[in-house]
Structure 1
């Protein structure tokens, strides 16, 4: 027996939209700490080899010898402040053990509490380590070097563009200076080793840098249950952006290794990242691994050996980024580093959308109004498709009384009912598919904009109107979700009423379901949906009235 599937198309489209949004939402749900399964292995699509496990070392091993025993941190800290970044560097090893971002607050309204990205305490470890390993490496003989410093608190002075801090270590007749250089307004830290070799032998060592972090999931401020991707990322010639989460590293039986000219390795979380970017002109070795005996993960690089002849000087350096996921800044630092702003598989649509949203913001100066303006532009671009959809639904609505009459005449005889409906559609020149296909065509844009609004750090702690003080979190009073539900209810009223009472009830419940789901969505995303619905209602109302006022065919 044939069934009339056309009457299910509209509700199917709405359900599909809801399911897609729920699917995207599910990707942000809180993840438990990964279960360690060391007997398994992992493989990246980029070409690589695996190295023998180096024990539980914190320091990379590039030459034969016993594992390095690392001493506890001295807690003799050097503080560097630029107004954009506040760093604390441990003089033992010269590691960055604390990084705060004064321009990004931990919580909205707490002006004296900057967002802390790197930190080391009893509950959480997230630090950036660097040093020298190899033949004459300072970090390869048991203990980390203890540097001396002339000033343990340095502030970027007014009128100056940069500030540098030198940590000095004397290795017999070789003077090693570890220099940190920060630039005003930048989140990029230059880390350089200056070698002055006054010995009688050639000095040789490899620079390494690594991010050391546990799998602790930091609470986000973007609504209940949300925990975007948390883990490592790196680039290679074959795969420009590859995510390797904690579970992947925990399951690996051996160190994951990638050789790459230039390259970078990053630790990614919602809105913020840290990343090591070594010399782009050298062939660097990137490694990802988990400690065998603790919940600690290492993401780092090692450069080729630097050789300094007797009586001469040499230098090796790398950059460390610690800050927000700013697309434009990351593009300038290293190829493909901007892909850590993860727009999903529809990035090729999402990225131009973000660029256009930023362009609009340059004129308006308010992200909320910019979202509304972007919505208007998108609706204008898709107006021909939308108009075709609205015309189809208006014609279907006009045929409502005839459809009700057919149902009354043929009752439960679905086969006869379907045949008569097809005749009526043909006679009235109505395409029941016309109302759904244009909506499906626009779905990739809707999903792409969803990711843009979720990933854009620019919306974090950004106010809009009155009670909306942060577009990146849910509406505190649920006013926008309520308006969204109301606009959806009005839209359904403009659509043809399904002849099946069960279908009609489901359609009536859809606004309530969507309202509840959107109660926990970021206000910026709900604002887009409200604007989209409002414009759709205006367009659909005008077109519907035009069709209803026209003379019967």
Structure 2
């Protein structure tokens, strides 16, 4: 009656696959569109409040020092048109009120594949979403205080990086009593790092003193994602602390336990799948970092630098850097120590990071396709682990060869379990079979497999990267579920090359495993499924060869 069981299993698999197609279509039809319209609210009580370094309040919006004095210059009730900045990598909006970055669209990344006219929006302030980058000056001569944010002047409302131009400078100006202040944004071609500097011309006969702050203000909403079922990339804040090079908190953890740290250099970042934004203050100063929930439900992730004093009748500068872009390991390494750890490979990062470098080398120097690079990386890993995997495969092959003798012993001593165990051990010793020989190599390989899983999940280069035929995005699920079905088929065939478990219940569970794994992999990114297929096919070839050698008595 085996044919009935297999027919039933096939019918169940067909129904589940049909349900998967229906769910896929339903999910795509009901995925909300990204709100692209930027709305900047006029400053109200919550917007004009200023946070304290020691006298902070729940309604505060930006940090302040004990010596903070009310800002009286440049603060009024009028609003001006947003400043538009266009470079080869950014479409960006700056609010003259405070000089805050209220929108960042990444021109080299599409919001959805096949929509080149809709770049991915990383930062934005809309009706339903707040994610902005703020910066200002606080302290004795600070421009930002409980009285409000300053309103800067600008020469024009539109700036664009011209062809052949390597850098674009956008200056906002503010006249303060006794000082002329220029807030300067510097954009460089091909770079997602923005330099933000305050150029202060102290025209008074007294020293000018203030500290610079920078912060990311965001709600807790999750960004749109193409990740499949079961995938949950980290979403939240991260920074470097004196105790940890990479300390992270999701929004629930920040709400429960705010964080405040002081460290030389450092950085603070807002991390999401594939992308991040980060403030990097001066690396030669002791900066204070804070992660906190505000009373309006928004979260503040920022830094406050030490105060800078500019003598009378002299000029000075306060500066920091702001990054808004992809999790590019190589670029983040150069910006600040340990900022590259925001590419979160989990606790097996020490394995995943070298694997990424090998994958990147293969794609850059051997093949120009990330799909083929994944396959070649799989071959590379299987070659490194060949001694381990071969030992396990040989052990399984010897057990398969002597399976008939094992079955005969089970039938002969089915009523005497003690005698069966004794005779089984004699057979193992006589034929040099190690029943655990296939387990240890697999256990030793598991850390590599887990590290590779997270490495492929975190690699932004795979986003919207095509392979061949119908696979146009290795970071998204196979739209026709062909790769998961092939993965399940390869797993089923791989099982047939190995001896079946002696326990009938365990054997039936193993028969169902390919079906269950196929269902599980339906929503996995195509790049991960491709890796498993390549791994299974290599294992099948290796197992078939070793089985032949064992059957021929050569091993």
1:304 is paired with a residue of what secondary structure? Answer: coil
Which runs of 5 or more structure 2 residues have no equivalent in the other structure? 1-52
Aligned 8 A contact 1:57 1:68 in 2: no
Aligned 8 A contact 2:345 2:352 in 1: yes
Distance 2:76 2:312 in 1: 31
* Residue number in structure 2 paired with 1:78: 83
* Residue number in structure 1 paired with 2:484: 481
Aligned 8 A contact 2:70 2:146 in 1: no
Distance 2:360 2:148 in 1: 49
Distance 2:93 2:176 in 1: 24
* Residue number in structure 2 paired with 1:249: 254
Distance 2:486 2:341 in 1: 34
2:317 to 310, 315, 318: 315
1:419 is paired with a residue of what secondary structure? Answer: helix
2:242 is paired with a residue of what secondary structure? Answer: coil
* Residue number in structure 1 paired with 2:369: 366
Q: Which aligned pairs between 1:135-150 and structure 2 lie closer than 5 A? A: 135-150=140-155
Distance 2:545 2:254 in 1: 57
Distance 1:346 1:131 in 2: 39
Q: Which aligned pairs between 1:96-245 and structure 2 lie closer than 5 A? A: 96-224=101-229, 226-245=231-250
* Residue number in structure 2 paired with 1:326: 328
1:67 Cα deviation (Å)? 9.7
Cα distance 1:206–1:271, how it changes in 2: closer, same or farther (>3 A)? same
2:491 is paired with a residue of what secondary structure? Answer: helix
Aligned 8 A contact 1:223 1:522 in 2: yes
1:529 Cα deviation (Å)? 0.5
* Residue number in structure 2 paired with 1:19: none
2:293 to 290, 295, 311: 290
* Residue number in structure 2 paired with 1:342: 344
Aligned 8 A contact 1:220 1:226 in 2: no
Which runs of 5 or more structure 1 residues have no equivalent in the other structure? 1-49
TM-score normalised to structure 1 length: 0.88
Q: Which aligned pairs between 1:20-35 and structure 2 lie closer than 5 A? A: none
Distance 1:200 1:328 in 2: 47
* Residue number in structure 1 paired with 2:535: 532
* Residue number in structure 2 paired with 1:269: 272
* Residue number in structure 2 paired with 1:352: 354
1:75 Cα deviation (Å)? 6.0
Structure 1: 4+ residue segments shifted above 3 A: 50-53, 64-75, 224-227
Distance 1:73 1:320 in 2: 27
Distance 1:417 1:483 in 2: 40
2:301 is paired with a residue of what secondary structure? Answer: strand
Question: What are the superposed Cα offsets for residues 91-131 of structure 1, whole Å, 9 maximum, x if unpaired?
Answer: 00000000000101100000000000000011000000000
Greater mean alpha carbon deviation, residues 212-221 or residues 264-273: 212-221
2:263 is paired with a residue of what secondary structure? Answer: strand
TM-score normalised to structure 2 length: 0.87
Higher relative contact order (CA 8 A, sep 6+): 1
Cα distance 1:75–1:170, how it changes in 2: closer, same or farther (>3 A)? closer
Aligned 8 A contact 1:350 1:452 in 2: yes
2:301 to 299, 322, 342: 299
* Residue number in structure 1 paired with 2:5: none
Distance 1:67 1:434 in 2: 74
1:51 Cα deviation (Å)? 5.4
Distance 1:376 1:212 in 2: 45
Whether 2:450 is the aligned partner of 1:460: answer no
2:437 is paired with a residue of what secondary structure? Answer: helix
2:306 is paired with a residue of what secondary structure? Answer: strand
1:433 is paired with a residue of what secondary structure? Answer: coil
1:473 is paired with a residue of what secondary structure? Answer: coil
* Residue number in structure 2 paired with 1:379: 382
Aligned 8 A contact 1:198 1:310 in 2: yes
* Residue number in structure 2 paired with 1:9: none
Cα distance 1:237–1:164, how it changes in 2: closer, same or farther (>3 A)? same
Whether 2:373 is the aligned partner of 1:407: answer no
Distance 2:238 2:355 in 1: 24
